[in-house]
Structure 1
Amino acid sequence: MKIVKHIANLGYGSRKDVQWMFREGRITDAAGEVLYADDPVDHDTIRVDGEPLDPAPGVAILLHKPVGYTCSTKDTGRVVYDLFPPRFRERSPVLSTVGRLDRETSGLLLLTDDGGLLHRIISPKANLPKVYDATLAQDLRGDEGALFASGTLMLESEQTPLAPARLHVIDPRHAQLTLTEGRYHQVRRMFAAVGNHVDALHRSRIGGLTLDDLAPGQWRVLAKEDLHRLFEAGA
C-alpha cells in the first residue's frame, strides 16, 4: 500500500491532507530524516510530528471502560471512542467494539479492526468465559447458583434457555458470574429473573485476559501473547 494511503487510512487526514504533511516536512523516519511520499518505508519507521504512527491495521485493543460511556458511534452522550485520539474514529477499516457493555457497566472491553478476529471472539465455538462482578440490591436467596448452572433458565422474550453459568458468591450482596454467551443485558436480566436488581456491574475478565493495572479510561494494544492468553481459557 502506498504510504500516503496508509497514513490516511489511520485517520490522520484525507490523502490530500497527508500529501501536504509530506510537503511540510512533518513526516520523518525514526532518526528525524524527512520522508517523501514514494519512499519505501515500514510502518514502524514512520513518525508524524516526531511521534510514532498509531497501531497498524489488524490491531486489537484492551480498554478499561468507565461507567457513563456507551459502546456506540451515534450516541449523543459520552462514548468509548472519546477515550482515544479523535483520529481513531476515522480509521479504515473501522475500529469496532467486540460486543458491548451498557452505559452503567464498567470493565474490560475489546476493540479491533480485524473482522476475522472479532468473529472468532464472539463465536459460540470460542466458548470464551466472561467474568462479571455484580453488586446487588438485595441479599441472594441461596438457590441462584443452581438455577444459573442448570441450563434451563429462560429470560423474558427469549426463545431458548441460557447456557449454564457459574455463580461465585462473595457475600450476600456481591457475586461473580461467569458466562460463555453474551445476550442483551444478560447479567442484569438473570438477576432480575430471580427477583433481584444489579446496582453495579463490572466485567473483570474475558478468556485469559484481565485488566491488570489499567485504570478506568486507560487502554493498551494487545500483543500476540495477549491473544494467546485470550483464547487459552476457551474450548
Structure 2
Amino acid sequence: MAYDWVVFDADETLFRFDAKRGLTQLLQSYDVDFTEAHFKRFKEVNAPLWEAFQRGEISAADIKARRFVDWEDRLGVSSTELNRQFMAQMGTISSTLDGAGSMLTALDDKVRMGIITNGFVELQQERLATHQFEQFFQFVVVSEALGVAKPHPEIFHHTHRQHISEEVPTSRILMVGDNPYSDILGGQRAGWHTCWLNEHQATCPEEVKPNHTIRHLSELVELVA
C-alpha cells in the first residue's frame, strides 16, 4: 500500500522510555535509593493522571503538578520542578528503538513524515536533537502544546488540517505506534490507516483493527515502499 505521509508515535515507537532508570537517577541526585516499591507507587499515581489527560479531564500542567506530589515534602521540591528534572534525565538517557535511524533514512526520500506524541514538549525537542532525527520530520505535534491527547480524534484532525493538507486523503496517511488504543484506535477513528508496532506479540484488543501489524521497524520500509 502506498502512502504519502507516515506519522509516528514517539515513546516505544521511535524512542525507548525507561522511566524506572530515569527515576532512579533523579532520586539518586537527592541521595534517595529508588526501590521497586517507590516505582510501583509512582505508576499508581502516574497512570490515572495520563488516562484522565487522554480523556480531556485534566491538563498536562496538572500531570506535572501532581505526579510527584508524594515526594514534595520529603525533598522540599515542587512536583512541577521534579517533573522538569525527570524530563531532563529522560533526555540524557534517551535511546532509540533498534533500526529506527536506518528506517527513517530509508523512508526519507519515499514519504513525508511527522510525529504525534502524548508527552511534554521539552523532551521531544531534546531527543530529536540528540539523535539527529529533526531532519526527517516535517512536524512534531505534542499533546501538551495542543491541549488534546491521543486517542481523541481532534489531535489527528488538527494534524491533518494544519500540518499535512486536507487535500491528502486519510487513506494516504499511515499512523505508526505501539499503543493499540492511543495510536491505533485513535488513528482508526480519524479515518487514517494504521500500523501497530507489536514488538512483544501482544494480543490486539477486539475493537482495535490495525491495517498492518509489524514486529520490527525494518518491516515498515517494505510496507510503505
For this structure pair, what is the TM-score category when the shorter chain's length is used for normalisation?
A: under 0.3
| Structure possessing the higher radius of gyration over alpha carbons | 1
When you count helix as a share of all residues, which structure comes out higher?
2
When you count strand as a share of all residues, which structure comes out higher?
1
Q: 1 or 2 for the larger relative contact order (CA 8 Å, sep ≥6)?
A: 2
